């Protein structure tokens, strides 16, 4: 899929080359995503899903503007795959995922276990586990459950907590971290 951004070809090529080599983001304060000096003015998300076999690696924000076709790809990727239901993911959560991934300094994509969930899917999962919240932020398209083979739950959670942009849950037995853009809080399960 080609993403059209309204940027002239030479600038798009330059930004693409720059993104491939220089994406390093660091959050400065709660809810704010800012870049280290010299790192550029882009945001990138790199995910894969073992459930669907799909992967995305794309720039979704350039020069202070979200790229709508890129966000549409992210929304589709993070859909409730059980119901094939797509919704608009909260951009703050996408920013949180991108920021933590950059802080972890890895080219490995996040493995996404769960993004958006319909109320029906959440109820089904809740019937199987006490660890699924009744009013989950997944239902509101504000959360993701993530893991990396090259980083521990503790390392991923530390990156999430450093962003001070929402909830971070550590699930050591299942080897994943829950990140959402709700109130700032943390827990261990």
Q: Is the pTM of this model over 0.75?
A: yes
Q: How far apart are CA 146 and CA 156, in angstroms?
A: 9
Note the pLDDT of residue 102: 94
Q: Which residues of the chain have pLDDT under 50?
A: 1-40
> pLDDT tens digits, residue range 81-91?
999 999 999 99
Q: Which residues of 64-83 are buried (b: 16+ CB within 10 A; e: fewer)?
A: eeebeebbebbbebbbbbee
Pairing between β-strand 42-48 and β-strand 55-62 as defined by DSSP bridges: antiparallel
Query: Is 85 within the bounds of a domain?
Result: yes
> pLDDT tens digits, residue range 39-94?
348 999 999 998 999 999 999 999 889 999 999 999 999 999 999 999 999 999 99
Pairing between β-strand 32-35 and β-strand 25-29 as defined by DSSP bridges: antiparallel
Query: Is 24 within the bounds of a domain?
Result: yes
Query: Is 94 within the bounds of a domain?
Result: yes
Total domain count, the chain: 1
Helix (H) or strand (E) holding 71: helix 68-77
CATH number at residue 41: 3.30.1380.10
Query: Is 2 within the bounds of a domain?
Result: no
Note the pLDDT of residue 134: 84
Query: Is 3 within the bounds of a domain?
Result: no
Per the structure, the complete domain to which residue 131 belongs is given by: 9-188
In percent, the amount of the chain with pLDDT more than 70 equals: 79
Q: CA dist 59 to 14, 39, 63, 110, 180, Å? A: 13, 14, 11, 15, 21
Query: Is 67 within the bounds of a domain?
Result: yes
């Amino acid at each position: 899929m080609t993403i059209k951004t309204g940027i002239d070809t030479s600038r798009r090529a330059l930004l693409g080359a720059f993104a491939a080599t220089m994406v390093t983001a660091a959050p400065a304060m709660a809810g704010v995503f800012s870049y280290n000096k010299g790192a550029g003015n882009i945001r990138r998300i790199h995910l894969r899903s073992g459930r669907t076999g799909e992967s995305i690696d794309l720039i979704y924000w350039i020069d202070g503007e979200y790229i709508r076709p890129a966000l549409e790809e992210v929304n589709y990727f993070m859909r409730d795959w059980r119901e094939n239901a797509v919704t608009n993911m909260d951009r703050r959560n996408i920013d949180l995922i991108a920021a933590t991934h950059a802080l972890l300094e890895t080219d490995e994509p996040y493995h996404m276990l769960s993004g958006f969930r319909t109320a029906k899917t959440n109820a089904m999962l809740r019937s199987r586990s006490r660890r699924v919240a009744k009013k989950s932020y997944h239902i509101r398209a504000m959360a993701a459950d993530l893991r990396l083979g090259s980083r521990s739950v503790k390392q991923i959670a530390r990156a999430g907590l450093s962003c001070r942009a929402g909830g971070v849950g550590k699930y050591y037995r299942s080897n994943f971290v829950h990140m959402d853009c709700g109130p700032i809080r943390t827990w261990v399960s």
